[in-house]
Amino acid sequence: MTQLIRAPYLSLFPPTSALDDTMAIEIAPLAIPATADASKLAGFGVEIKGVNPGELTPEQFKEIEQLLYNHDVLLFRDVDLTPEQQYRLTKAFDPTSESYGHGNNKTEKTTKSILHPDLKTIPRQPQVQLIGNGTVYNHEGLAEAMLKHPSHTTFHKTQVSREDEEKGYTRFYRWHIDAALYDLSPPKVTTLYGIKVPKGHKQICRYDDGTGDELEVPLGTTAFVSGKLMFDLLPPELKSLAVRSKVKYAPHPYVWMAPTHAMPTGLGIETEGLELPLDQLPPWEESRRKTLPVVWKNPVTGNLHFQVHPCGAAELLVDPLPEGANHEGALYPDGAHITDLGTVRALLYKMQRPAIAPSLVYPHDWHERDLVVFHNRGVLHSVVGAFKPHQVRAFHQCNLAASDDPAGPTPEEVKKYA
Ligand SMILES: [Fe+2]
């Protein structure tokens, strides 16, 4: 099932072997687990062989970029990648981007942010973060880094019981897009490089939302779902709502949500009135808040991806139906500005939950020296599972605040789906 793209390239580096002249990028579908609906996930994710992602020529990079936007998740195996190379690769997707997706070091200084304990910056390449579990010594200029794999037990309203955890049950931690969602634009890609990957038994990810849904996953998997599928699965009235809507995010959303609890699926926040009041947040300005379309247009395929970070969403702004549209069965035909958090969350959950069904999730089975590059504007992802303190895991993660905001659907597309 290996597909060859015949694309000889001009190497910027001195040829080291005769093979260089004939090398081609080789791609193969990702190994989709038995739990997944292969027909629905067809084309989602590819493994790329035959190139060194740390030293791509401009021609190779162009191919990789096309592959990313066409397949959303790229896997490279057995990769050696320095933090500098990872930064350069990430930056190549958005050459004028510069700072880490959450702002360099800002997250660490904002100690109230729920992201604070999860990220350690690589000193000489601060856009690259060390994430993982356990204590890592003498790592890229960090003498000692204590890492904690985030787990649902510190974030969800309810928890898997101790006994069930011992039996291997777990949950998705938080479905999200990598983005500050305040002031900065959502990164185009995220690169995740597995350096230390503890082996262990599979776990069963339980949804605990009354559906009985569960999914067997590799220990410490990163789970991905397609934002395109999330949109495509919607019935017509919700497609109409999605293409007409924008989400306004809370200011400093990760501080705002810090006192809250998540739903058992990790897909948004329970409405309990626990959000930090806006006057208790670090200083913020209305003009820096992010209002982004619900649906983002893929710059290469033109496909529409449902891209909402449900935890940070505060308001929905719905445009009225365009002229000539059929009002029958339409939701908010005259438009709306929905500020009630419970309503905002219920609408988003209704639209996003179908796409995290067990058969639609790609849980990546990490091996050491795997590099995963994902289209952060085309997928949602979640940390999954729980490690014991002695299970040391070390990953490098990089994403860069983008040079622009994502584009929404065109007026023609709004007309088509409205
Ligand atoms: Fe993430």
- Tell me the CA–centroid distance for residue 6 and ligand 1, in Å: 33
* 404 assigned to some structural domain: yes
**Cα–Cα distance measured from residue 97 to residue 89, given in angstroms and rounded to the nearest whole number:** 12
Q: Count the neighbouring beta carbons within 10 Å of the beta carbon of residue 13.
A: 9
SS3 315: strand
- Tell me the CA–centroid distance for residue 418 and ligand 1, in Å: 32
Q: Is the pLDDT of residue 151 over 50?
A: yes
H-helix or E-strand containing 199? none
pLDDT for position 8: 33
Span 324-336, pLDDT tens digits: 998 999 999 999 9
Span 102-126, pLDDT tens digits: 875 554 445 667 766 667 999 999 9
Determine contact, residues 406/186, Cβ cutoff 8 Å.
Answer: yes
- Tell me the CA–centroid distance for residue 191 and ligand 1, in Å: 10
Q: Between vectors from CA 34 to CA 198 and to CA 228, what angle results, nearest 5°?
A: 95
pLDDT for position 12: 31
* 368 assigned to some structural domain: yes
- Tell me the CA–centroid distance for residue 178 and ligand 1, in Å: 5
Determine contact, residues 66/108, Cβ cutoff 8 Å.
Answer: no
* 16 assigned to some structural domain: no
Q: What are phi and psi of 46, to 5 degrees?
A: -140, 150
pLDDT for position 103: 78
- Tell me the CA–centroid distance for residue 398 and ligand 1, in Å: 10
- Tell me the CA–centroid distance for residue 397 and ligand 1, in Å: 9
Q: Which residues surround ligand 1, an ion (CB under 5 A)?
A: 178
* 10 assigned to some structural domain: no
Alpha carbon distances (Å) from 87 to 75, 92, 167, 198, 367: 17, 9, 39, 25, 21
Domain at 215, CATH number: 3.60.130.10
- Tell me the CA–centroid distance for residue 383 and ligand 1, in Å: 7
* 7 assigned to some structural domain: no
Provide the number of structural domains found in the chain: 1
Tokens of 361: 């999730």
Q: Which domain holds residue 374?
A: 38-417
- Tell me the CA–centroid distance for residue 400 and ligand 1, in Å: 12
* 23 assigned to some structural domain: no
- Tell me the CA–centroid distance for residue 234 and ligand 1, in Å: 24
- Tell me the CA–centroid distance for residue 237 and ligand 1, in Å: 30
Q: Is the pLDDT of residue 19 over 50?
A: no
- Tell me the CA–centroid distance for residue 177 and ligand 1, in Å: 6
pLDDT-above-70 percentage for the chain:
91
Span 197-241, pLDDT tens digits: 999 999 999 999 999 999 999 999 999 999 999 999 999 999 999
Span 45-99, pLDDT tens digits: 999 999 999 999 999 999 999 999 999 999 999 999 999 999 999 999 999 999 9
- Tell me the CA–centroid distance for residue 161 and ligand 1, in Å: 26
Determine contact, residues 254/312, Cβ cutoff 8 Å.
Answer: yes
- Tell me the CA–centroid distance for residue 11 and ligand 1, in Å: 33
Q: Is the pLDDT of residue 355 over 70?
A: yes
